Every structure is written in C-alpha cells, then in structure tokens.
Structure 1
Amino acid sequence: MYKLSGDNPGSNTNTARVPFLHFTRVILKKTHKLYKIHNITTLIEHRNADTSAFQN
C-alpha cells in the first residue's frame, strides 16, 4: 500500500511532464528552423551588401 502510494505520484508527474517536454521540443524545433532561416537571410543580405560595395 505504501509502495503504491509512493509510485502513483511519480507516474502522475511523469504523465504531466511528457507532453510538456514534447511541447518544448516542438517549440525548439520551430524556433531552430526560424533561426536557421534568419541566419540564411542575413547571410544573403550581407553577401548582397558586399557585392554592392564591390560594384560601387
């Protein structure tokens, strides 16, 4: 009985924690993609700025 009551809170916290971890993982993936896109666009902008500076 004591062992069961000890196990139940742990299982409850695990079930509550798993969707949260999944949620944060999804957010991290999305932000990472956005960050990558942002880096690419900034690289292109810098490259364009460099080429325009050389042309001038």
Structure 2
Amino acid sequence: DPKEESSEKTPTETKSKDTGKDILVEEPKPIKRKQQVKMDEGHEVAARLRAEE
C-alpha cells in the first residue's frame, strides 16, 4: 500500500533532521559568580575613567 510506504519514510527524515539540530542547539552555560563579579568590576573602572575625562 502507498500509505504504508509514506509513513515509513517520514520518521527516518525527521530523525536525521533532529540529530543535526541537536548538535547545533546548545544552551549557553550560566556565567559563574566569580566571572560575573570580575565583569562588573571592569565596567565600574571603565565608568570611572570616562567620568574623569
């Protein structure tokens, strides 16, 4: 039956598409607290330098 053939092909195509997307889509890791503090300190120093100019 043609219906059975088409239903068999669809899952294979979906799987191949999904595996490609899974590799590309990775959620960024949250910034660690120490790194966030260092970044904030850097912005404060830059703001002070701009204020002095």
TM-score by length of 1: 0.51
| Identical columns (%) | 9
Runs of 4+ in 1 over 2 A off after TM superposition: 43-47, 52-56
Query: Which of the pair has more CA radius of gyration?
Result: 2
Count of aligned residue pairs for this structure pair: 48
1:9 corresponds to: 9
| TM superposition shift of 1:52 | 3.0
What are the residue-to-residue correspondences of 1:1-56 with 2, within 5 Å?
1-26=1-26, 29-30=27-28, 33=29, 41=39, 44-54=41-51
Structure 1 residues 14-45: Cα deviation after superposition (integer angstroms, max 9, x where no partner): 1111212211221xx23xx4xx7xxx64x653
Q: CA RMSD in A?
A: 3.2
Flag structure 1 segments of 5+ consecutive residues without an equivalent: none
Flag structure 2 segments of 5+ consecutive residues without an equivalent: none
Q: Residue type of the partner of 2:17?
A: R
